[in-house]
């Protein structure tokens, strides 16, 4: 059968056209066919899936099922899953079996979704290309010699190749939006605090946020609605009422004010600029009003981010010392040797680099000069966005300065860090952001970023859905992966 969207799949399940087991087997076959070539999966979860399949089918048979009941998904491998390895793409946690479910996992389990596997990722979510995983680089379905973006590249590749209809991801500085753009799918990062971070292995605690990948904004809305909600176990969880993000998908965007950051457009290559301008013009044709805005301090975002995020990473990853859990070196001669060799062996080069930067930035001699100053810049950026949203309803912007690049072409860390130049500002401000496909440049996908004001996920999902009702870019599939 043709599988296209959560609503139609759910109807097929509820009408007994297909069983939960049959649906799972269709996607499992696709995983078995393509996942190895893409290197997008770290662990399969057959025992968990078998239990969930039986429970989901019982709910459907008893007419107690939710829209998401029986829908397969893949989790990024930094969400703790009971009894299953949660590696975070690192040798440090290669053999760590989580004793509990992350709240995001639990919420989706409670709706009857089926966990098929755990997706490959940049180690501890540090990277923009998914070349930093201990388990090897993930490949882009649109070109096996090209990166899928990071750090959630495994999750993005899974959805882009049609190996699962849904995958979870996390976004610290662009790690959902950039992979979504580079693989031609839809991905959303909600406002900071919307989705619980409990059970999500931490990189940078003031920035990390769970989100979702799907083909369409509509499917993202269905899943995000169930992922989010206040969680007392997470001290950073926003105390706001649970919201159905699909309720307003069909509203007209006529009269909606869309902000355009002119200097961001000027930094794009001609082809990507043209595709971005055409997508924005389409929104205007649909009734939106374009308003030029300024974000005067946004150009400082990358510099501030790469002080703040490594500082938090340095603190969060200090727990991995080879004693309680995680990789432990063999035959340590003393406690210092245990610490040094366990961490040297367990962490990859990019993780070590960020730990060192963060430790340096937090040290007594540099805290005020770097970390405190970066936090002040972060506040200025947030204030810039507040002023912008006094004039507009959403902001439309590029996602990435280029299409999916080839492996090993970014020879220095700074050039890699610049890949997040358009996504980091809104991350520092904690805003909801979405990437949706808007076409191809040189046969590679390009995405458009929609940025909303705080807690305005419904608005950006509505705009994306209306755009996708009028276009077919979200239905693009790389050659060889047609469903």
In a domain, 296, yes or no: no
Q: Please identify which of the residues 90, 128, 133, 151 carries the catalytic annotation.
A: 151
In a domain, 454, yes or no: no
Average pLDDT over residues 31-46: 97
Q: Which domain holds residue 106?
A: 6-250
Q: What is the pLDDT of residues 300-343, one digit of tens each?
A: 999 999 999 999 999 999 999 999 889 999 999 999 999 999 99
Q: Is the model's pLDDT at 345 over the cut of 70?
A: yes
In a domain, 124, yes or no: yes
In a domain, 114, yes or no: yes
Work out the pLDDT band at 247, boundaries 50, 70, 90: very high
Work out the pLDDT band at 451, boundaries 50, 70, 90: very high
Catalytic, 363? Answer no
Distance (Å, whole) CA 397 – CA 431: 14
Q: What is the pLDDT of residues 70-126, one digit of tens each?
A: 999 999 999 999 999 999 999 999 999 999 999 999 999 999 999 999 999 999 999
Average pLDDT over residues 216-243: 97
Assign residue 223 the CATH number of its domain.
Answer: 3.90.1300.10
In a domain, 164, yes or no: yes
pLDDT of residue 1: 59
Tokens (6 digits) for 286: 């649909």
Work out the pLDDT band at 388, boundaries 50, 70, 90: very high
In a domain, 445, yes or no: no
3-state secondary structure of 373: helix
Average pLDDT over residues 269-279: 96
pLDDT of residue 351: 97
Work out the pLDDT band at 3, boundaries 50, 70, 90: confident
Distance (Å, whole) CA 355 – CA 292: 39
Catalytic, 151? Answer yes
Work out the pLDDT band at 483, boundaries 50, 70, 90: low
pLDDT of residue 115: 98
Q: Is the model's pLDDT at 250 over the cut of 80?
A: yes
Distance (Å, whole) CA 77 – CA 113: 17
pLDDT of residue 126: 97
Which residue do the tokens 């755990």 mark?
118
Q: Please, which contacts does 10-16 make with residues 24 or more away whose CB atoms are closer than 8 Å?
A: 10/67, 10/68, 10/69, 10/70, 10/71, 13/60, 13/65, 13/69, 13/70, 14/60, 14/65
Q: What is the pLDDT of residues 194-218, one digit of tens each?
A: 999 999 999 999 999 999 999 999 9
3-state secondary structure of 149: coil
Distance (Å, whole) CA 421 – CA 400: 7
Q: Is the model's pLDDT at 2 over the cut of 80?
A: no
Q: What is the pLDDT of residues 460-482, one digit of tens each?
A: 999 999 999 999 999 999 999 97
In a domain, 201, yes or no: yes
Question: What does pTM read for this prediction?
Answer: 0.97
Q: Is the model's pLDDT at 267 over the cut of 90?
A: no
Distance (Å, whole) CA 101 – CA 155: 18
**What number of other Cβ atoms are within 10 A of residue 233's Cβ?**
11
Question: Do strands 72-76 and 114-119 pair parallel, antiparallel, or not at all (unpaired)?
Answer: parallel
Query: What is the percent of the chain with per-residue pLDDT over 90, rounded to a whole number?
Result: 96
Give how many domains the chain has, as a whole number.
1
Distance (Å, whole) CA 82 – CA 76: 14
Q: Please identify which of the residues 129, 133, 175, 191 carries the catalytic annotation.
A: 175
Cis peptide leading into 151, omega within 30 of 0?
yes
In a domain, 431, yes or no: no
């Amino acid at each position: 059968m043709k599988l296209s969207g959560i609503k139609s799949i759910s109807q097929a399940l509820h009408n007994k056209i297909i069983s939960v087991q049959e649906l799972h087997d269709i996607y499992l076959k696709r995983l078995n066919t393509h996942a190895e070539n893409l290197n997008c999966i770290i662990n399969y979860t057959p025992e968990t899936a078998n239990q969930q399949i039986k429970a989901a089918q019982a709910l459907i048979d008893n007419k107690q099922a939710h829209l998401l009941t029986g829908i397969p998904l893949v989790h990024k491998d930094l969400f703790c899953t009971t009894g299953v390895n949660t590696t975070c793409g690192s040798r440090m946690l290669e053999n760590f079996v989580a004793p509990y479910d992350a709240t995001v996992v639990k919420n989706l389990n409670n709706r009857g979704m089926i966990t098929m596997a755990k997706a490959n990722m940049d180690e501890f979510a540090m990277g923009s290309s998914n070349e930093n995983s201990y388990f090897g680089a993930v490949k882009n379905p649109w070109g096996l010699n090209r990166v899928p973006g990071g750090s959630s590249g495994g999750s993005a590749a899974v959805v882009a190749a049609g190996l699962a209809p849904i995958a979870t991801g996390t976004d610290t500085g662009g790690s959902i939006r950039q992979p979504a753009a580079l693989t031609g799918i839809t991905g959303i990062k909600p406002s900071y605090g919307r989705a619980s971070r409990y059970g999500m292995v931490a990189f940078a605690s003031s920035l990390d946020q769970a989100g979702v990948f799907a083909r369409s904004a509509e499917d993202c809305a269905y899943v995000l609605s169930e992922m989010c909600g206040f969680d007392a176990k997470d001290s950073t969880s926003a105390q706001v009422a649970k919201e159905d993000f699909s309720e307003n998908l069909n509203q007209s965007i006529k009269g909606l004010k869309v902000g355009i950051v002119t200097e961001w457009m000027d930094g794009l290559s001609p082809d990507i600029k043209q595709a971005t301008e055409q997508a924005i013009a389409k929104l205007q044709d649909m009734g939106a009003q374009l308003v030029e805005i300024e974000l005067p301090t946004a150009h400082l975002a990358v510099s501030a981010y790469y002080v703040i995020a490594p500082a938090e990473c340095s603190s969060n990853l200090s727990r991995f010392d080879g004693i309680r859990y995680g990789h432990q070196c063999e035959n340590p001669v003393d406690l210092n040797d245990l610490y040094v060799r366990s961490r040297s062996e367990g962490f990859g080069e990019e993780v070590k680099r960020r730990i060192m930067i963060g430790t340096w930035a937090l040290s007594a001699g540099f805290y005020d000069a770097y970390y405190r100053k970066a936090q002040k810049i972060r506040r200025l950026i947030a204030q810039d966005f507040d002023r912008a949203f006094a004039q507009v309803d959403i902001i439309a912007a590029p996602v990435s300065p280029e299409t999916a690049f080839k492996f090993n072409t970014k020879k220095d860390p700074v050039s890699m860090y610049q890949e997040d130049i358009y996504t980091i500002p809104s991350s520092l401000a904690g805003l909801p952001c979405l990437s949706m496909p808007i076409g191809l440049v040189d046969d590679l996908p390009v995405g458009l970023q929609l940025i909303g004001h705080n807690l305005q996920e419904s608005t950006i999902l509505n705009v994306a859905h209306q755009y996708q009702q009028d276009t077919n870019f979200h239905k693009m599939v790389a050659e060889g992966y047609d469903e």
